[in-house]
Structure 1
Amino acid sequence: MRTTAIRQKLHQFIDNAEEKRVKAIFTLLEDEITQGEWEYTDEFKKELDNRHTHYKSGGEMVSAADANKQIRKLLTTKKKK
């Protein structure tokens, strides 16, 4: 069975399972679920530090509004292709 099929079956099971079963499944996987939520790789942390240093030293930044414009433009261009 393919991973996508397994995921679909798990989703269906969890969506329809009794509350106590959902809680039991969560208890089994809780450490894995919560542990992965906020762990960043060392490479990612280094990149965040570099960007913060760049910002604090007066480096050029893109505003949220400008970033959204750029994203919309890219998405519009991609849809046309």
Structure 2
Amino acid sequence: MTIEIIRERLHNYLKVADDKKIAAIYTLLEDDILEQIAWWGDNAFVEELNKEYTGWESGDTKGYTIEETEQIITELKSKRQSS
């Protein structure tokens, strides 16, 4: 079974599981979940964000507007569907 299938099955299960099971699963994974959420505690990641922001602010790094990003995503989805 591929990871993609496992992710989909877990996602679907979480939609319908009873509250007690959801709470138990969360308890098992809580530390991992909180670690993923607390990106600001990852000094290397924050440093990289600051570097990118400084580059964007000075004009040395290209940035994209929300509209540009949405257009790029739409084009990529269209290409994927036509393949």
User: Normalising to structure 2: TM-score of the pair?
Assistant: 0.57
Specify the structure having the higher radius of gyration (Cα): 1
Query: Percent of aligned pairs with the same residue?
Result: 29
- 1:11 aligns with 11
User: Within the alignment, does 1:22 sit opposite 2:22 as a pair?
Assistant: yes
Q: State the superposition RMSD in angstroms.
A: 3.5
User: Gaps spanning 5+ residues in structure 2: where?
Assistant: none
Residue 50 of structure 2 is aligned to residue 49 of structure 1: yes
Q: Structure 1, residues 5-57: CA drift from partner, whole Å, max 9, x if none?
A: 11122122221111101111111111110111123351x322333456665xx
Q: Runs of 5+ in structure 1 lacking a partner? A: none
Provide closer, same or farther for how the CA distance between residues 68 and 15 of structure 1 changes in structure 2, counting only shifts above 3 A.
Answer: closer
Q: Distance in 1 between matches of 2:18 and 2:46?
A: 40
Q: How many residues align?
A: 75
